[in-house]
Amino acid sequence: METLSFLTGNFNQILSLAWVHTLLVSVAVGLAILTGVPIGIAITQSQRAADAVLYIASVIITIPSIALFGLMIPVLSMIGQGIGYMPAIIAVLLYSQLPIIRNTYTAINNVDPALREAARGVGMTAMQRLKMVEIPLAIPVIMAGVRTAVVMNIGVMAIAAYIGAGGLGTLIQRGISQSDPRQLIIGAVSVSLLAIVADFSLLWLQKRLTPKGLAAAV
Amino acid sequence: MITLDKLTKIFDTPNGSITAADHISMEVPTGEICVLLGPSGCGKTTTLKMVNRIIPATSGRVLIHGEDTSQMNTVDLRRNIGYVIQQIGLFPNMTIEDNISVVPKLLGWSAEKYKKRALELLDLVALDPAIFLKRYPSELSGGQQQRVGVIRALAADPKVMLMDEPFGAIDPINREVIQDEFLKMQKELQKTILFVSHDIDEAVKMGDKIAIFREGKLEQYAAPDDLLAHPANDFIAGFVGNDRTLKRLQLVTAGEVMQQNPSMVTLDQPLDEALQLMESRDLEAVTVVNREQKPIGMVRREIAQVHRGSCRDHHDGLPTVIYQDDDLRSVVSRLYRVDASWLPVVDGEGYLQGVITQRGITHHVGATYRTQA
């Protein structure tokens, strides 16, 4: 009951925290798409580069987030951004690389060789092949990677409240430090709900972006 | 005209280098289909793919209408060569219209022009544009997809086409239909075509010329009838099969082999006139025609010898008739089926044009062996 009354009493504040949370994850994953997709495409050209890049991305994802924040504080302090939203966004950007790069790489690599040959045979340039054939066919798998990244990093962003990034993690952090189960529960439940809502919205988006002819085949 | 000049491909593999195509030189005249034929791994596909540089040649030249293609930009070269592959390779993310329009779009045609062209081409292969234009490849049957694959290659009206086992993935019944359709189109289009196949029957049917490959070498390059009649070595003889002479039959039509100005009698003629005719020409039977000169029966010599009266009362029905355009394989098959040594040949309207005899057929087929001997 107390939890409910806290919820109704602070509804606007919770909404604004959720909004900040969403915004931070969106910006970070958005940037991760801008870097990860081109990297994923580029490494299809070289098996050795692919092995190296995927290995590094796998190592990054094993670093605990709290440790990563700790590592970034001295580095980013040099530009006066040791704490706050900047390290949080950078961390999420780094964590998002593996699912996005790996899915892009796999999807482009798995384009039917016959289609690739047909695309070359009709006289498409490498860029035209990417734009007209390979990327459209890879969209569903790339989007699946983006969904993984978003859901995972909504959790990571909650922890970033400890370095002052803001977002729903603030409630959890306060709940712990003030031994206030109301804030703790509301923070945890909101983060979970946000992850579920984000996953479903991105699934909807994925279906919208998937070329129609591919949907018909499934 | 496509000219291959000492075209060679050497693949470097961990187990040493492999010569996939070894100094292939040949010429395909304008408007002809040349079938590259051989067992798998013989170099026929490698040779084909060197023409549009899907596989870059190690050495040698490809000339199209006398122009050395090594001077041309790869992308431009490919846009000017129609390319059909066995896996069809329609882009699943594009509608049929977009698939057909791929090359015209790459060449920068106006939307009006390439849309009109897509309609024309669908009509050409009897696919209703109202139904198919906006469909996706996954909604089409295999045969329909392959037709679209062929017209996509024809879209920008290239003079030269490369077809890599284009009908290989289709069931045998549909394959026959599509082959026939394609030959009909080719009669009008007169493209210069390199066509890879591993099937001797397809090669004989489709090819104006056949090039037989073995282990990267061009073993024989000849017209189908020549190849079947005079295989250059034991490998080729084995590859084209022990029944190669029977395969030659499908290359000849009844009209080419029939005896013209056939003997005939009308229903009202007396039987002894028919007998005289047969005796003077040493025939076992003679065709009976109606007033329009359409065959309706025959009079046998043994019947004419023992009966009197008119042909009307003493003729037998014809078991079947042969059309001028029928190939000899189907003619022989029907002669055997009805146990006849001859049959009348008619034109498309049913008028008697000649007679075809088993002896005439063996004589025709054997002619080439006699001149060689």
Q: Each residue of B86-119: pLDDT tens digit? A: 899 999 999 999 999 999 999 999 999 999 999 9
Q: Does B258 share its domain with B242?
A: no
| pLDDT computed for residue A213 by the predictor | 83
Q: ∠ at Cα A189 (A186, A190), nearest 5°?
A: 80
- The runs of H, that is alpha helices, within chain A are 2-9, 11-42, 47-62, 65-77, 85-109, 113-121, 126-129, 135-159, 169-177, 181-209, 212-217
Q: Which amino acid is at B9?
A: K
Q: Are residues B204 and B319 in the same domain?
A: no
Query: What CA–CA distance (Å, rounded) separates A134 from A119?
Result: 9
Residue B356: pLDDT band by 50, 70, 90 thresholds? Answer: very high
Q: Identify whether residues B213 and B96 lie together within a single domain.
A: yes
Of A112, A123, A136, the CB nearest to B79: A123
- The confidence score (pLDDT) of residue B262 equals 86
Inter-chain residue contact A123 with B136, CB threshold 8 Å: no
Q: What is the mean pLDDT of residues B145-162?
A: 94
Q: Which of A47-51, A108-112, B81-85, B289-293 has the lowest mean pLDDT?
A: B289-293
| Dihedral sign (CA B198, B204, B206, B209) | positive
State the smallest CA–CA distance between residue A96 and chain B in angstroms. 27
Contacts of A217 in chain B (CB under 8 A): 92, 136, 138
The pLDDT of residue A215 is 67
Rounded-to-5 percentages of helix, strand, coil across chain B: 40, 25, 30
A118 touches chain B (CB under 8 A): yes
CATH of the domain at B151: 3.40.50.300
Write down which residue in B231, B249, B267 finishes a domain: B249
Question: How are strands ordered across the β-sheet holding B295-300?
Answer: B264-266, B285-289, B295-300
Cβ–Cβ contact B25 with A under 8 A? no
Last residue in a domain, options B249, B267, B283: B249
Mean pLDDT of B328-356: 91
Please indicate if any CB of chain B lies within 8 Å of the CB of A64.
no
**Chain B contact set for A136 (CB, 8 A):** 93
Do B125 and B30 share a domain, yes or no? yes
Of the candidates B234, B249, B264, which is a domain's last residue?
Answer: B249
Q: What is the pLDDT of residue B303?
A: 87
CB nearest A121 (choices: B54, B93, B139): B54
B57, B7 contact by CB (below 8 A):
yes
Same domain, B277 and B224: no
Both B243 and B169 in a single domain?
yes
Q: What is the DSSP letter of B253?
A: B
pLDDT of residue B372: 61
What are the pLDDT digits (tens) for A130-156? 999 999 999 999 999 999 999 999 999
At A19, list the tokens: 């909004």
Contact B155, B116 (CB under 8 A): no
- Strand ranges across the sheet with B342-346: B259-260, B352-357, B342-346, B322-323
Query: What parts of chain A have a pLDDT lower than 70?
Result: 1, 215-218
Within a domain: B74: yes
On whether residue B139 sits in a domain, the answer given is yes
Q: Where do we find the tokens 């002809």?
A: B32
pLDDT tens column, A107-133: 999 999 999 999 999 999 999 999 999
What lies within 8 Å, CB to CB, of A140 at 6+ separation is: A107, A206, A210, A214
Q: If DSSP states are collapsed to H, E and C, what string results for A126-182?
A: HHHHHHHHHHHHHHHHHHHHHHHHHHHHHHHHHHHHHHCCCCCHHHHHHHHHCCCHH
- Find which of A122, A133, A141 to mutate to test the B interface (most B CBs within 10 Å of its CB): A122
Same domain, residue pair B307 and B288: yes
Q: Domains plus CATH for chain A?
A: 2-217 (1.10.3720.10)
Beta-bridge partners for B19? B10
CATH number where B309 lies: 3.10.580.10
CA A124 vs CA B115, B205, B220: distances in Å: 20, 33, 35
Reported as a pLDDT band with limits 50, 70 and 90, residue B315 is: confident
Smallest Cα–Cα separation from A125: which of B152, B104, B74, B154?
A: B74
Rg (CA), chain A: 20
Whether residues B283 and B265 share a domain: the answer is: yes
Contacts of residues B129-135 at CB distance under 8 Å and 24 or more positions apart, as own/partner, are: B132/B96, B133/B95, B133/B96, B133/B97, B134/B95, B134/B96, B134/B97, B135/B95, B135/B96
Inter-chain residue contact A117 with B54, CB threshold 8 Å: yes
Domain tally, chain B: 2
pLDDT of residue A216: 52
Q: Do B78 and A121 touch (CB under 8 A)?
A: yes
Q: Are residue B231 and residue B263 in the same domain, yes or no?
A: no
Q: Characterize B24-40 residue by residue with b for buried, 16 or more Cβ atoms within 10 angstroms of its Cβ, and e for exposed.
A: bebebeeebbbbbbbee
CB proximity A125 to B under 8 Å: yes
Name which of B51, B69, B93, B95 to mutate to probe chain A: the one with the most chain A Cβ atoms within 10 A of its Cβ.
B93
Residues 6+ apart with CB under 8 A from B277: B263, B265, B283, B286
Instruction: Tell me, yes or no, whether B207 and B340 share the same domain.
Output: no
Q: Are A123 and B77 a contacting pair at CB < 8 A?
A: yes
Q: What percent of chain B has pLDDT over 90?
A: 66
Q: Is residue B372 part of a domain?
A: no
Residue B373 lies in a domain: no
Could you tell me if residue B270 is inside a domain? yes
> Measured between CB atoms, does A216 come within 8 Å of chain B?
yes
Inter-chain touch A117–B89, beta carbons under 8 Å: yes
* Residues B244 and B322 reside in one and the same domain: no
In percent, how much of chain B has pLDDT > 70?
A: 99
Q: Which domain holds residue B64?
A: 2-249
**Does residue B60 share a domain with residue B202?**
yes
- How many Cβ pairs within 8 Å bridge chains A and B? 79
pLDDT at B373 exceeding the cut of 60: no
Cβ distance B81 to B51 under 8 Å? yes
Taking a C-beta distance cutoff of 8 angstroms, is the pair B170, B164 a contact?
Answer: no
pLDDT of residue A218: 43
> Which pLDDT belongs to residue A217?
46
